[in-house]
A and B are shown apart, each in its own frame.
Chain A
Amino acid sequence: KQEVTQIPAALSVPEGENLVLNCSFTDSAIYNLQWFRQDPGKGLTSLLLIQSSQREQTSGRLNASLDKSSGRSTLYIAASQPGDSATYLCAARQGGSEKLVFGKGTKLTVNP
């Protein structure tokens, strides 16, 4: 059974700092891994999707990496801004399935 863990559960940083969010998964047989942003009381905004054959994906100040063999993914946020404050979720899609298994998320606060 796939389990997805995100560390830390919460993170507070000053504006402008670069930061890394971590995601680990127990079953490496995944199709892809996806990072989402969730604002309080809101739905999910997809940030980056990394296919199992890829090592990383970039979008603006965001860079996500994937290491299937070690069961890890990281989300790197450069030059953080207060508007980046949100909960970041990672989700692994199981091979042979459409099921997404989510972590509990990392709540990020960027202080002005």
Chain B
Amino acid sequence: GAVVSQHPSRVICKSGTSVKIECRSLDFQATTMFWYRQFPKQSLMLMATSNEGSKATYEQGVEKDKFLINHASLTLSTLTVTSAHPEDSSFYICSARDRGSGSGKYNEQFFGPGTRLTVL
């Protein structure tokens, strides 16, 4: 149980184009999903918290107009990198929390396999 998938696993695009990454919880419902970014040899950094049916909460320094997040259902959140540039090339990982676990301190986030974005 508690499987999270991401699609695509790898994407290469030209500078200036937009790229959409999907994050799905396969066997549970997730009211909250999280988007992280990982640059080479760096730690994962939380970009934003995605809440089903409401606006995402972005971390300081993350441009909300550049990284559009949509959490339209309890099993799907999407991250769209708009007008991508080479500096956006990174590994993007999502995680999801089981709706049934609540936001209490004993809940756990389950991570997807990640999406490697390369912007030429």
Contact = CB atoms under 8 A, between A and B. Distances in A.
A112 interface: no
B105 A51 contact: yes
Interface string A100-112: 1111110000000
A76 interface: no
Given A99-B46, A103-B43, A31 B114 contact: no
B93 A44 contact: yes
- Contact-residue size bin, chain B (C-beta under 8 Å from the other chain): 20 to 34
Which secondary structure dominates where chain A touches chain B?
strand
A98 B97 contact: yes
A45 B4 CA distance: 11
Interface residues of A, number: 26
A44 B6 CA distance: 12
Nearest to A43: B113
B44 interface: yes
Contact of B32 (A98, A101, A102): A98
A7 B34 CA distance: 26
10 contacts: A31-B105, A32-B106, A43-B113, A44-B44, A46-B110, A46-B111, A98-B97, A98-B109, A100-B109, A105-B43
Interface of B: 6, 32, 34, 41-46, 49, 91, 93, 95, 97, 103, 105-114, 116
Interface of A: 4, 31-32, 34, 36, 41-46, 49, 51-52, 89, 91, 93, 95, 98-105
Given A42-B114, A102-B43, 9 more contacts: A34-B108, A41-B114, A41-B116, A42-B113, A43-B93, A46-B110, A52-B105, A89-B44, A100-B95
